[in-house]
Structure 1
């Protein structure tokens, strides 16, 4: 059994919606609103609960970066 548990170390960390909201310093409701509007990072639903892969959060944050200071991405 220890071998199977050791393999879990290769899995990517997952964030809860509360973890993500705390990291981004926004209310959980904002994350939910972003999801309703088709914005925000992709999520995985496990057991009816949302989880966010760290790589998806990083990718989404990168997509939010301004191309020039003071000028947001088009359509954002």
Structure 2
């Protein structure tokens, strides 16, 4: 159980991803709906993001 807690502590909330990417939370919801944003996980009724996935998604979008 302690390892599960440590793993979820490392995940970012949608607000944290929004702040990191400097985009509105609504944009993240739209990207998820359109399947074009970083991968997210449903934890209960909340979305959680792996910071590594967010950074790799961002790197792949370099112009």
Structure 1 Cα separation of the partners of residues 28 and 58 of structure 2: 13
- Structure 1: runs of 5+ lacking an equivalent: 67-76
Moved over 2 A (4+): 7-12
The structure whose Rg is larger is 1
Q: Over residues 7-58 of structure 1, what are the superposed CA-to-partner deviations in whole Å (9 max), with x where a residue is unaligned?
A: 5696371110011111111110000011111111001110110000011101
- Structure 2: runs of 5+ lacking an equivalent: none
Which residue of the partner structure matches residue 37 of structure 1? 34
RMSD of aligned residue pairs (Cα, Å): 1.9
Aligned residues: 62
By percentage of residues, which structure has more helix? 2
Structure 1 Cα separation of the partners of residues 17 and 28 of structure 2: 8
